[in-house]
Amino acid sequence: MNGISKWKVLAIVSGIVFVGDQVTKYLAVEHLTRAFEVAGAQTFGEKVKAFVEQKELLERGLARSAPVQVVPAFWQHRYTQNRGAAWGVLAGAGEKFRVPFFYLVSIAAVIFIFSYYRKLSTEQRYVQIALALVLGGALGNALDRLLRGYVIDFIDWHWGDPNWLRPSLHWPTFNVADSGITVGLAMLFLEMLFARKPGAQAAAKKA
């Protein structure tokens, strides 16, 4: 991405995460639930309308019972609704507290990202990409909460089989937006951990 302005990097990377998140959630609703069938949606436009408007699919019994196996005994897709943050944090909190809280957190996160991002130099491409990943993921999940009051999760990783002697390990179900946020935050953590300050770099060169 050399030669591309930092704002184009933000738009491209966050846009890819945001669009990828919404497209995969649409596919999750299409293949892991009966929402489109119940809504009588047949054309693409009708399905998009149903995707935006259909809510509470689990409560209405519209989720398919059998998950789609991607890698047996490790990776499957199943439709879930997360009313909390990552890993279901605050999912059990009252709606009057939970909904405004997540709206405020989303707004604060976007404001922080933009205020920090505008201070970055053109050369700080690594940090630009990291913040763009977080922004795209935050916007993807924020749109879910705005439309439905919960986030659609469907990527399900687990290790082991209950019938085996070893215990089965299960990672909380997540989505593409969660992946963008996690990777972006991990990149920022590594940047803080290993990045050398300009003064330290200058001293190293003199040595």
Residue 23, CB-side half-sphere exposure with 13 Å CA sphere? 6
Q: Find the helix or strand (DSSP H, E) in which 82 lies.
A: strand 75-82
Is residue 144 flagged as an active site residue?
A: no
Report the C-alpha dihedral over residues 88, 94, 98, 99, rounded to 10 degrees: 120
Is residue 178 flagged as an active site residue?
A: yes
Closest by Cα among 181, 190, 195 to 123: 195
CA–CA distances in Å: residue 64 to residues 31, 60, 78, 112, 150: 8, 11, 8, 39, 19
Catalytic residue among 21, 144, 153, 156: 153
Q: Which residues are catalytic?
A: 153, 178
